[in-house]
């Protein structure tokens, strides 16, 4: 059995948003917010390579493991 990690991740994210009552009912286009847990510059370069010029600023937010 092959498992698509993208599909599995999407399913898990949807379930979490649903369970936390965070799904939107808006019909307006969404916005993107990019957050990196490590060096934001490298993530920004990679994101721009895949998404092009519409890839916006990246916010650096380290993991809080406490």
Number of folded domains that form the chain:
1
Q: Which domain holds residue 15?
A: 5-60
The pLDDT value recorded for residue 56 is 81
Alpha carbons 12 and 41: distance in angstroms, whole number: 28
Alpha carbons 65 and 27: distance in angstroms, whole number: 36
The pLDDT value recorded for residue 44 is 87
The pLDDT value recorded for residue 27 is 94
SS3 23: coil
Q: Is residue 49 part of a domain?
A: yes
The pLDDT value recorded for residue 26 is 93
CB atoms within 10 A of CB 16: 10
Residues of the chain predicted below pLDDT 50: none
Q: Is residue 65 part of a domain?
A: no
């Amino acid at each position: 059995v092959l498992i698509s990690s993208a599909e599995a991740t999407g399913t898990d994210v949807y379930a979490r948003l649903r369970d936390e009552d965070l799904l939107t009912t808006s019909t307006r286009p969404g916005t993107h917010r990019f957050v990196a847990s490590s060096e934001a510059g490298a993530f920004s370069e990679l994101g721009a390579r895949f998404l092009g010029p519409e890839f916006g600023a990246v916010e650096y937010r380290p993991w809080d493991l406490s």
